Amino acid sequence: MVRILQEGINRWIPDFVMAGLKAENQTGDRKGPVREDRGLCRDGAVMHHDLHRFVLAMFIISSMSVAGCTPGITEQERDAVAPPAVEQGGYKIGVDDRVQVSVWRNPELTVIVPVRPDGMISVPLIGDVQAGGKTATELAADVKQKLALFVRDPNVTIIITELRSHEFLSRVRVTGAVRTPRSSQYRQGMTVVDAVLEAGGLNDFASPNSTKLYRTVDGKTKVYAIELGGILNSGKLETNMKLFPGDVIAVPERLF
């Protein structure tokens, strides 16, 4: 629509300018007052109502151009690959995580233990070891150093078997007019439709095309309009965004 109006204005502006120049030349060549012809006034300019139409058309074009620049869902945002919910430099072990300590050729030293509230784990022979706040590689190096006092050249591997400490940092939540509002574990490649279907789909009172996606970016909440009705009923996938850990989808109820 904007492109069509712009093409029309671009064709009309030269005629507007030429009419003004022609009128000005006629005014300069003739002595005395200029007769008011259709489209011309006493000073040789385009009649007031034509000028008004020109200004109004330019205002419409400007307004529509500004409206078209309003931030929406870009293709990059819609198809973005959500990063895992880990801290920079690797996953940091936290309270309630469960870790497996394996020592090669020493099965009696291999254990699966929880991380206690004080961040410690208990390992045979060496006792308590600080695990909280460390990566698996860092913890393996600490255990290896301590075991070297009892075992010759120990080969230690740390496997995190349950990621409980980051559970709520890596969830996607669906609220509002769905059959089962829920907080789901984020999985790579998850989209708006996946989350809504996991929540049982829409209930009978939903207003799907008023759905909003709330996402925290650099500490600020960004809101995206999701046309959920178009996605579910017409296959219009433009707003079927891939999700990030921490996203919240809100489906409002319609007004009666």
Higher pLDDT, 203 or 49: 203
pLDDT given for residue 89 in this prediction? 61
Dihedral over Cα of 143, 148, 151, 157: its sign: positive
Cβ-contact 158, 143 below 8 angstroms? yes
Flag whether pLDDT at 121 surpasses 80: yes
pLDDT at 19 over 70: no
Please write the tens of the pLDDT for every residue from 182-213: 999 999 899 999 999 999 999 999 999 999 99
Query: In terms of residues, how long is the chain?
Result: 256
Q: What is the DSSP letter of 51?
A: H
Contact 98, 158 (CB under 8 A): no
The owner of tokens 């490649």 is 189
**Residue 33 reports pLDDT greater than 60:** no
Residue with tokens 């940092």: 169
Indicate the helix (H) or strand (E) that contains 220. strand 220-226
Q: What is the pLDDT of residues 206-221, one digit of tens each?
A: 999 999 999 998 889 9
Query: For 105-109, what is the mean pLDDT?
Result: 94
Q: What is the mean pLDDT of residues 70-99?
A: 67
pLDDT at 46: 43
- Name the DSSP letter for residue 46: B
Cα–Cα dist 164/98, whole Å: 8
pLDDT band at residue 3, thresholds of 50, 70 and 90? very low
The sign of the CA dihedral 61, 67, 71, 72 is: negative
Sheet strands side by side (includes 211-217):
182-185, 171-176, 248-251, 211-217, 220-226
